[in-house]
Amino acid sequence: MAQAYMTETGNGGSEPETSGSRLRRRLAELRRDPGIWRRGIVTAALAALLSLVMIFHAELPNDIGNLGSLTETFLPWLGLAVPLLLAAAVVRRSATALISILLTAAVWVNLFGGLVTDKSGSGGNLTVATHNVDADNPDPRGTAAAVAKSGADVLALTELKGSAVPVYEKALEGTYPYHAVEGTVGVWSKYPLVSSRPVDIKMGWTRAMRVTVHTPFGDLAAFVAHLPSVRVKLNAGFTANQRDNSADALGAALAAEPLKKVVLLGDLNGTMNDRSLSEITSQVRSTQGAAGDGFGFSWPAQFPMARIDQILVRGVRPEASWTLPRTGSDHLPVAARLTV
C-alpha cells in the first residue's frame, strides 16, 4: 500500500499525498533548483574519465610500466566505480553527474554486458579442460582426482613439478590411457596422442608443447602453454616483458600450425583484453567469450579477479565454457565443450 502524506488544499483542508504526487513534487523542486546542473562537476568529470579509459584503453601507453596492459587485465572491474559515483551524484543532487554516470554505465554494458549472460549451448562432442596445478600444490593426488571428475576428454596441466609428475600419471591413468609430458606441461587424453613435441617460447626451458589428438571427429592440434608470470611492482609497474616475448613466440607457432582444427589450453598470464597477447588472440578465439556463463575468472582461486587460464580455439565451435571447483592450486581449473 502506498504511504500517504497530508497536503494543504485550497479551502484550508488537507488531502493525502500519494507516492506519485510526492515524486512529481520532488521533481518540480529539483527543476526549480538553480544548482542542479552546477553541482557535482567533479563527479561528472570522474565518470567521463572512466568512460574514456574504457573506450580508449587500447591507446593507453605501455612504455611506462606497461600501464595499458595492467589496465586491460582488470578492465571489467572499472564498473565497480559506477555505483560509487552514482551514490555521490544522488547525495549532491546533481543532474550533470547523473547523466555522465549513466553514459559510463552504458559504455561498460556495451563492452562487458555480453559476458554477464549465459551463452552456453547443449551441443558438443569433445570436452577439454586445463589447470595450472601449482608447483607447490600440497595435494597433487587430490587435484588430479578432482580434475579427472570434470568429464574432460582432453586434459592439460601446467606448472608440473618434476617430482610430482609420477603422482599425476598414477592418479590419472585410470581415466586417461594416453598422455604426454614436455617439461612442465602435459596432456592427458582419452584418445590417442601422437607427434608430441616442445614449443619454444623463448624461456630457456620447456613450458609449452604441441601434440596431435586423434579424436573420432578428426585430428586436433592441441597446444599447451604456461607463459611467464607477471608482477606489479611499485618501482617498475607491470613487469610483463618476458611474457609478451613468449606470447609472440607462441603466436608464431600457432601461425605455422598446418592442421585446421586447433585448441590452445593453459595459463597465459593475461586476459583477452590485454593487447600484448594480440599475436595469439588474433588467431584463436576464447571459448569463454563465445560460449561462457559470466566472466569465468580463474585467478586467484580464493577470490578470482581475472581470467588468465584460457581455452582458445580455431576451426572448432565452442558450445559451453565454465570454471571447475577449487583444488589445492592457486588457480581454478577451466573447461569447455566443443564441436569438432
Region(s) of the chain under CATH 3.60.10.10: 126-339
The pLDDT assigned to 16 comes to: 61
Task: Give me the sign of the Cα torsion angle 318, 319, 325, 327.
Answer: negative
At residue 187, what are phi and psi to the nearest 5 degrees? Answer: -125, 130
Q: Which residue has the cell 552514482?
A: 86
* Residue 186: other Cβ atoms inside 10 A: 23
Q: What pTM did the predictor assign?
A: 0.85
By the 8 A CB rule, do 119 and 290 touch?
yes
In the prediction, which pLDDT does 92 show?
Answer: 87
C-alpha grid cell, residue 216 = 573420432
Residue 35 is predicted with a pLDDT of 73
Q: What is the pLDDT, as a whole number, of residue 145?
A: 96
126-339 CATH choice from 3.40.50.300, 2.40.110.10, 3.60.10.10, 3.30.70.590: 3.60.10.10
Are 319 and 127 spatial neighbours (Cβ–Cβ below 8 Å)?
Answer: no
How many CB atoms are closer than 10 A to CB 216? 9
pLDDT by 10s per residue, the chain, length 340: 444 444 444 455 555 667 767 767 665 655 556 677 778 999 999 999 999 999 999 999 887 778 888 899 999 999 999 999 999 999 988 989 999 999 999 999 999 998 888 999 999 999 999 999 999 999 999 999 999 999 999 999 999 999 999 999 999 999 999 999 999 999 999 999 999 999 999 999 999 999 999 999 999 999 999 999 887 655 545 668 899 999 999 999 999 999 999 999 999 999 999 999 999 999 999 999 999 999 999 999 999 999 999 999 999 999 999 999 999 999 999 999 999 9
189 beta partners: 154, 178
Sign of CA dihedral 35, 37, 40, 41: negative
CA nearest neighbour of 103 among 47, 43, 36: 47
Task: Provide the greatest CA pair distance for the chain.
Answer: 95
